[in-house]
């Protein structure tokens, strides 16, 4: 759920450009667009002319890097985190990533490397469905799919309503995707590529094999699910807008101190990394704040599905998921009473591990692309030589 939402956690750029639903700001198509707003025209023309091929290369490479981070590297952390969240009987809460490392090693030795990437195809399909649904709603309604800082309050409200509808409609498929992600490979059949869609339809219309009486009706899940998705989107957008504002103010102050004779050393790779870092950090803070809500939503999704998960207390056994929550409020009170307030944060170490890996990869990418850019970008002669 969080990984899908995290691809939708777009913000409004303070310079007026909107963020696309893919997860990349439109300004990433031109990595120094924000920077150029505050640079003298002569520098903009010169820099963009000299380094345009390098900018395109850096942009493509960093988009691929971000896709790898979100869809490959982070997925094992998502699998582990979700399994911890839905296990109400777990005695080890794994609030730190260090306690998860031996469990991951035991899972790998017992089930193989692929057990940490289960449900990955379903998440890809769900993201595609989200994009298609939002595009369809934007075509048949006056609701805008994207907004900017220049949008009116009415357009912003309509945009948020579009998001709310999309999250609500896709709730059955979120449930099916969660099952695929947490079910144990040694106790369940591996799902097919399109099983996420099939199971979502069956969940919506109560089709297929008989299900437990503990299974919550979909109308009880749509409201909390849509509100959770929208809250994550809005909170991440606000954080991202604030960080962009501080970054732009920093750039303005930096350029005021510089003269035309002393061009900025800021390069396109750094600008790409800054944008991606702000995007991921905003998503991280939103996930931290709303982590208890995610835990409750996931438990409600899984209730009554007869799912068997890996026991992450040991990493060597499996156990069924059994709960009797009556709704979101009963889920909250039951968790606090039975597991303590920290029960809402089970698997939090997986979240820390996920974003620590992202930060590490972004740092490595920054070093690599800065080095590549310095190799391909021609050296500029000192200003004094041009003057002579």
DSSP string, 312-341: TTTSSEEEE------SHHHHHHHHHHHH-G
Helices (H), 69-141: 75-86, 100-111, 120-140
Residue 258 has pLDDT above 90, yes or no: no
Confidence class for position 371, pLDDT limits 50, 70, 90:
confident
For residue 97, what pLDDT is reported? 92
**β 308-311/317-320 pair status:** antiparallel
Reported as half-sphere exposure (CB side, CA atoms, 13 A), residue 16 has a value of 3
For residue 328, what pLDDT is reported? 95
Q: What is the DSSP letter of 382?
A: P
**Residue among 69, 2, 100, 72 at smallest CA distance from 347:** 100
CA 319 to chain centre: 29
Question: How far is 188 from 181, CA to CA, in rounded Å?
Answer: 12
Residue 229 has pLDDT above 70, yes or no: yes
Handedness of CA 221, 223, 226, 232 (dihedral sign): negative
**Residue among 27, 30, 111, 113 at smallest CA distance from 76:** 113
For residue 182, what pLDDT is reported? 94
Q: How far is CA 298 from CA 1, 83, 126, 172, 385, in A?
A: 8, 10, 16, 12, 65
Q: For the chain, what is the mean pLDDT?
A: 79
- Structure token pair of residue 351: 């979240």
What does the radius of gyration of the chain's CA atoms come to, in whole angstroms?
Answer: 23
Question: How far is 218 from 348, CA to CA, in rounded Å?
Answer: 27
Place of tokens 């310079």: 15
For residue 81, what pLDDT is reported? 95
Cβ-proximal residues to 74 (8 Å cutoff; 6+ apart), any chain: 3, 354, 357, 358
For residue 273, what pLDDT is reported? 76
Question: How far is 307 from 372, CA to CA, in rounded Å?
Answer: 48
Q: Across the chain, which distance is largest between two alpha carbons, in Å?
A: 86
User: Could you report the per-residue pLDDT of 30-86, keeping only the tens digit for each?
Assistant: 322 332 333 333 333 333 334 455 566 656 666 666 666 666 778 889 999 999 999
Question: How far is 83 from 33, CA to CA, in rounded Å?
Answer: 42
For residue 41, what pLDDT is reported? 36
Across 339-368, average pLDDT: 90
With contact defined as beta carbons under 8 Å apart, do 374 and 104 qualify? no
Output the pTM of the full model: 0.80
User: Could you report the per-residue pLDDT of 328-351, keeping only the tens digit for each?
Assistant: 999 999 999 999 999 999 999 999
Question: How far is 299 from 328, CA to CA, in rounded Å?
Answer: 9
Residue 205 has pLDDT above 90, yes or no: no
For residue 332, what pLDDT is reported? 97
**Rounded percentage of the chain residues whose pLDDT exceeds 70:** 74
Question: How far is 270 from 267, CA to CA, in rounded Å?
Answer: 6
DSSP strands (E only) in the chain? 308-311, 317-320
pLDDT-wise least confident of 22-26, 57-61, 86-90: 22-26
Alpha carbon distance, N-terminus to C-terminus of the chain? 62
**Rounded percentage of the chain residues whose pLDDT exceeds 90:** 45
User: Could you report the per-residue pLDDT of 96-139, keeping only the tens digit for each?
Assistant: 999 999 988 888 888 887 888 888 888 889 989 999 999 999 99
User: Could you report the per-residue pLDDT of 298-325, keeping only the tens digit for each?
Assistant: 999 999 998 999 999 888 889 999 999 9
Q: What are φ and ψ of residue 97, in 5° steps?
A: -65, -20
Q: What is the DSSP letter of 183?
A: B
Residue 193 has pLDDT above 80, yes or no: no
- Provide DSSP, 3-36: HHHHHH---B-TTS-BB-TTSSBGGGGSTTHHHH
Question: How far is 177 from 198, CA to CA, in rounded Å?
Answer: 11
Residue 211 has pLDDT above 70, yes or no: no
Q: Which of 33-47, 48-62, 157-171, 212-226 has the highest mean pLDDT?
A: 157-171
Residue 2 has pLDDT above 70, yes or no: no
Cβ-proximal residues to 383 (8 Å cutoff; 6+ apart), any chain: 261, 262
């Amino acid at each position: 759920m969080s990984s899908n939402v995290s691809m939708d956690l777009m913000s409004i750029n303070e310079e007026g450009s909107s963020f696309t639903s893919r997860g990349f700001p439109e300004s990433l198509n031109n990595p120094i667009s924000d920077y150029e707003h505050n640079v003298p025209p002569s520098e903009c023309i010169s820099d963009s002319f000299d380094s345009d091929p390098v900018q395109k290369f850096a942009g493509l490479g960093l988009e691929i890097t971000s896709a790898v981070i979100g869809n490959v590297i982070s997925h094992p952390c998502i699998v582990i985190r979700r399994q911890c969240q839905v296990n109400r009987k777990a005695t080890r809460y794994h609030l730190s990533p260090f306690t998860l490392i031996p469990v991951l090693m035991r899972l790998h030795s017992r089930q193989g490397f692929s057990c940490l990437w289960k449900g990955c195809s379903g998440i890809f399909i769900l993201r595609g469905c989200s994009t298609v649904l939002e595009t369809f709603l934007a075509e048949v309604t006056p609701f805008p799919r994207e907004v900017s800082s220049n949008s009116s309050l009415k357009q912003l409200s309509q945009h948020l309503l579009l998001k709310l509808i999309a999250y609500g409609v896709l709730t059955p498929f979120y449930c099916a995707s969660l099952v695929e992600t947490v079910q144990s490979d040694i106790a369940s059949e591996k799902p097919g590529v399109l099983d996420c869609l099939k199971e979502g339809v069956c969940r919506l219309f109560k089709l297929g094999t008989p299900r437990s009486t503990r299974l919550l009706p979909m109308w009880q899940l749509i409201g909390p699910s849509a509100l959770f998705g929208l809250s994550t989107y809005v909170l991440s957008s606000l954080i991202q807008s604030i960080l962009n504002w501080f970054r732009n103010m920093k750039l303005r102050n930096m350029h005021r101190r510089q003269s035309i004779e002393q061009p900025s050393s800021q390069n396109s790779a750094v600008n790409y990394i800054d944008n991606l870092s702000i995007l991921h950090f905003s998503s991280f803070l939103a996930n931290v704040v709303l982590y208890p809500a995610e835990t409750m939503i996931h438990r409600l999704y899984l209730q009554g599905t007869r799912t068997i998960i890996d026991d992450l207390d040991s990493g060597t056994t499996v156990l069924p998921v059994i709960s009797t929550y009556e709704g979101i409020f009963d889920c909250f009170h039951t968790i606090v009473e039975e597991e303590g307030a920290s029960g809402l944060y089970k698997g939090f170490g997986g979240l820390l591990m996920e974003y620590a890996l992202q930060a590490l990869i972004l740092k490595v990418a920054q070093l690599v692309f800065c080095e590549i850019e310095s190799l391909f970008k021609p050296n500029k002669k000192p200003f004094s030589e041009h003057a002579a």
